[in-house]
Amino acid sequence: MKGREKLERHKVSLLKCSNYDYDLIKKSILKSFKNLGGIDKYIDKGDKVLLKINLLMKKRPEEATTTHPVFTKALAKVLIDYGAEVIIGDSPGGPFNTSILNGVYRACGIEEISKEVGAELNYNTNSVEMKNEKGLILKNINAIEVLNKVDKVISVSKLKTHGMMMFTGAVKNMFGIVAGLEKAEYHVRMPNIKDFSNALLDICILAKPVLSFMDGIVGMEGNGPSGGDPRQVGAVIASTSPYHLDVVATSLIGINPGKVPTIQRSVERGICEGNFNDIEIIGERIEELKINDFIVPEIRSLDLLDGKLPKFMRTIINELMQPKPVFNKNICVGCEKCFESCPPQVITMINRKPSVKLDECIRCFCCQELCPVNAIDIHRPILMKLLARL
Ligand code: SF4
Ligand code: SF4
């Protein structure tokens, strides 16, 4: 890179794993540790390790919204056998309380595997303000208290598309260290994708995962992170760097990493190059596992037009190309989850059906993310789809 010091090469382990057979995954996890230099390089015996998995909402494992319980079980078992104490946790969407956590742990199959393997489930629902000196825009973050009670954090994400951010992987997974409904405040404070993706990086920097694993065995394509379709990918990915892991994961599903907001910010901030110059892949070649027709949503972003049109035209066109949430009232069951989770509170319930003030909608798609019956679609104007290809 011109004018910048040459970045160190980060190791990313990429392995084939075709299904959720426990022994197969455990083998892949052991191999991943070996590829990254050995478990003892990162974890000390007796360490308390938080597995920050993705537990967005109550979903069955086969729906591919959450980190698969067998993946979590195999990783926890390897760590416990090594001599670590394992705590499994996340702050799902909606309020952060014991009753919601219980429901999510049970539905997602995590309660069962934690008992089988002897891992603890996090029920500490306190949050603490933590200083984040290395953050760019978030210098203080209200994080879940368990983060302060462990020695190490491992990000255990799920490979998925995302309506607002295009892709959710190892970096976006760390947004779950922000407690419950406080996540909504971040959306309100930073409705712009560029600011929000910078905030996601700040949160990941604070959480500082010592390692990142990704359950890419069955990912989600289309209307992610919860309303899309499961898609076989067959990959277990691991790295010391969540930023570099995401570059490999996006490439694997045919996304140009340079189009993903969190990767764009990582490049701007000199954390990674956004390509393979600073990555050493150990294991399979990307081409061995690459999927070229993975369905990926176009995202709303003025960045797409930066430098391509004058500012006044961008403002007008941006208005015309805004995607919008569309509520299918025939599918809606009136649960009010969208109403409760809308950060700027622009949804009202009329006769048990949601109605949205679109002119005040910040297009965060939290409503779509948390609808339990996929009754919310993101409508993307044709103009937006065309411009997104520019
Ligand atoms: S979250 Fe979905 S099902 Fe629940 S009220 Fe909103 S649209 Fe209806
Ligand atoms: S209506 Fe949906 S997309 Fe719009 S601000 Fe509310 S949660 Fe976000």
User: Mean of the pLDDT values across residues 108-134?
Assistant: 97
User: Mean of the pLDDT values across residues 372-385?
Assistant: 83
Q: Whole-number mean pLDDT of the chain? A: 92
CA nearest ligand 2 atom 6, residue: 342
Q: Kindly report the CA angle at 72 between 374 and 85, in degrees rounded to 5? A: 135
Does residue 322's CB lie within 6 angstroms of at least one atom of ligand 2?
Answer: no
Check: CB of residue 377 under 8 Å from CB of residue 326.
yes
CA of 190 to the centre of ligand 2 (A): 13
| Dihedral sign from CA coordinates of 148, 150, 153, 158 | negative
Three-class DSSP labels, 300-345: CCHHHHCCCCCHHHHHHHHHHCCCEEEECCCCCCCCCHHHHHCCCC
227: its two tokens: 């309303």
Question: 91-105, 117-131, 144-158, 296-310: which range is least confident on average?
Answer: 296-310
User: Mean of the pLDDT values across residues 11-24?
Assistant: 98
Those residues whose C-beta lies under 8 Å from the C-beta of residue 389, and which sit 6 or more positions away, are none
CA of 341 to the centre of ligand 2 (A): 8
Amino acid letter at 130? M
DSSP 292: S
Dump pLDDT digits (tens) for 326-350. 999 999 999 999 999 999 999 999 9
Dump pLDDT digits (tens) for 196-231. 999 999 999 999 999 999 999 999 999 999 999 999
Domains of the chain with bracketed CATH: 10-289 (3.40.50.11440), 302-388 (3.30.70.20)
Dump pLDDT digits (tens) for 154-165. 999 999 999 999
131-147 in b/e burial notation, b at 16+ Cβ within 10 A?
A: ebeebeebeebbbbebb
- Residue 307, pLDDT above cutoff 90: no
